[in-house]
Structure 1
Amino acid sequence: MDPLSVLKTMWTHKWVTVPMVLLIGLACAYSMLWAPRTYESTATFALAMPKIPTEQELEEEPSLAKLNADNPYLRWQDTSLLAQVVIDRVNSAEVHEGLVERGLEGEYELSPPDGTSSGLMKLTVSADSKQSARDTVGFLSAEFSRILYEVQKVNQADDLYVIDALPVSGPTPAEEIFSSRLRSTLLIGAAGLVVLFGVVSLAESVRAARQRSRSRAEQRAAGATESTKETGTWVTAADPALRGNAPDLPVLGRQTASVPVPVAPVPDDRAHGRESPKVPAHAAR
């Protein structure tokens, strides 16, 4: 559809368009200026592989050979499997209940940075306040370390053979996520425009329906007038004095129209040198 036609239609229904545009503008302004903010805090960890004793070290220190080295996650060349297990445990209902008990709210995500399997784990927390974001990332960092340790002790492996989580950065100070505020504003604006176009379309449909009804009524009235002209004639009183100022009235029913009969003019005998016949006096009387 032509944009000019859309604008013209919207202006035609300005009694709907103007209030809707004002409401959308106020909603977007509220979302941008006064709506609740979202703050984010992050923490990054590195999964460090343990230093496994060599054969020579085991021979030199027999006590090392007696340690339990049955850590199932050391059978893989990297820490991708361990990272996935820890992620699933951190996202479990157990950790969520711990957040609720401490009155902490917000959303969080634990994943390798940019989806890589480099041994780094990034914890991202978003909350409605700075304090809540800091407290939540602190609690989840402790839970991450605890779960990482527990899953490796499934076979009671000695701590020497446990993969450690080394803090790399964070928890960072909570900062506002401006993109979240902008995204909310755009969503409100888009939803408002959809509602606006829907209301204008409804108003246009009502207007078109009224025009069709008016056109049909005018066509019926015009048809009735044509029918009256075909089946009726105008009758006028012969004497204007009797009619006065009364208008001509249609008489329904088919009428016989009077056709004037031509009358031949009376010849003038004097014009031809003949005299008119004389009428006797007694006949004249």
Structure 2
Amino acid sequence: MDPTEVLRVLWRQRWYVAPAVLVALVAAAYVFQLAPRSYQSTGTYALVNPNVPSSQELEADPDLAALNGDNPYLRSADTNLVTDALMARLGTESTLRHLEAAGVGTEFAVGPGVGGNGFVVDVTGVGPTPAESIATTAAVGTVLEDELRELQTVHGADDRFLFTPLVLAEPESATEQFSSRLRATIVVLLGGGVLVFGAASLGRYRETSRSGRPRPDRSDRSDRPETGPVPGPATASQAPHVDVLRHGTGSLLGTGAATARRTRGPVGR
């Protein structure tokens, strides 16, 4: 069915289609304006290298030599290993339990900072209000500090040999995410489109049930000229005239033959 035919059907069933269109528009406006909103805020943290004592400091201060420097991430050739391990720990169930215990939201995201710097981590918290979003981001930042320390002290390393977090940008404000409301509005409009075509189908069904057959569409008529009625056999009303003609002809033939015999007369002897 071409688009013009679809529009023609919708217009013909406009008394059924118009309420469906109105319902769809009201629902879409409600979702976009009054539905729950989503806000997000971001905090940025940098991982600062530990101040490992040099060999001269160890010789000058025997107490430094007694410190436990067994931090496994200091022995790794990959400088981004501690950051990758930290982001992996933040994505576990233990982080969700910490957030639930703190009474904040559990929707957040952790990723590398701007430019993909291995020692910069972005924490983004999501919430239905700006305040709840900021609270979630701050709570995740607290968990980040605890997890970072726990990762490095697995062998009892001293604080002098640990990477420490440094706050580069605090989550001071939250921005609304229009994409969530827009997606919900699109879904409602798609459902409204289904409702509109369903209303048009209902109108066509009721139209067919009332008339016994579909209303003829002028656009479907062909341009062929109309032909007159095809002549058929003679009807009963026309039969007496035919019989009269048949009998009349026979009478005339008989009269003509008798006249001819009288005219010729008897044959001569």
The answer to whether the superposition gives a TM-score over 0.5 is: yes
Q: SS of 2:37's equivalent?
A: coil
Determine the structure 1 residue equivalent to 2:259. none
Determine the structure 1 residue equivalent to 2:132. 132
The CA distance in 2 between the partners of 1:36 and 1:92, in whole Å, is 27
Q: Is the Cα–Cα contact under 8 Å of residues 10 and 200 in structure 1 kept in the other structure?
A: no
Determine the structure 1 residue equivalent to 2:56. 56
CA drift at 1:29:
0.9
For structure 1, the residue ranges without an aligned partner over 5 or more in a row are: 216-228, 239-256, 268-273, 275-285
User: TM-score, normalized by length of structure 1?
Assistant: 0.68
1:166 matched to 2:166? The reply is yes
Number of residue pairs aligned between Structure 1 and Structure 2? 234
Q: SS of 2:74's equivalent?
A: helix
The CA distance in 2 between the partners of 1:51 and 1:194, in whole Å, is 66
The CA distance in 2 between the partners of 1:106 and 1:15, in whole Å, is 48
1:264 matched to 2:252? The reply is yes
The CA distance in 2 between the partners of 1:98 and 1:149, in whole Å, is 16
Whichever residue aligns with residue 30 of structure 1, its letter is Y
The CA distance in 2 between the partners of 1:74 and 1:32, in whole Å, is 51
**Structure 1 pair 201–58 and aligned structure 2 pair: CA distance change class (3 A):** farther
1:27 matched to 2:37? The reply is no
Determine the structure 2 residue equivalent to 1:193. 193
The CA distance in 1 between the partners of 2:81 and 2:192, in whole Å, is 46
Determine the structure 1 residue equivalent to 2:68. 68
Q: SS of 1:44's equivalent?
A: strand
Determine the structure 2 residue equivalent to 1:119. 119
CA drift at 1:107:
1.5
Aligned residues with identical type, % of pairs: 33
Q: SS of 1:148's equivalent?
A: helix
CA drift at 1:137:
1.7
Determine the structure 2 residue equivalent to 1:9. 9
Q: SS of 1:76's equivalent?
A: coil
CA drift at 1:133:
1.6
What pairs with 1:91-102 in structure 2 (closer than 5 Å)?
91-102=91-102
CA drift at 1:202:
4.8
Q: Is the Cα–Cα contact under 8 Å of residues 41 and 125 in structure 2 kept in the other structure?
A: yes
Deviations 1:142-179 (A, max 9, x none): 11110111111101111111111110001222332233
What pairs with 1:30-49 in structure 2 (closer than 5 Å)?
30-49=30-49
Whichever residue aligns with residue 33 of structure 1, its letter is Q
Q: SS of 2:35's equivalent?
A: coil
The CA distance in 1 between the partners of 2:162 and 2:95, in whole Å, is 22
**Structure 1 pair 86–27 and aligned structure 2 pair: CA distance change class (3 A):** same
Which structure has the greater CA radius of gyration? 1
Q: SS of 2:151's equivalent?
A: helix
**Structure 1 pair 63–189 and aligned structure 2 pair: CA distance change class (3 A):** same
What pairs with 1:230-269 in structure 2 (closer than 5 Å)?
234=236, 258=243, 260-261=246-247, 262=249, 263-264=251-252
Determine the structure 1 residue equivalent to 2:218. none
User: TM-score, normalized by length of structure 2?
Assistant: 0.72
CA drift at 1:6:
2.8
Q: Is the Cα–Cα contact under 8 Å of residues 106 and 128 in structure 1 kept in the other structure?
A: no
Q: Is the Cα–Cα contact under 8 Å of residues 98 and 143 in structure 2 kept in the other structure?
A: no
CA RMSD of superposed structures (Å): 3.5
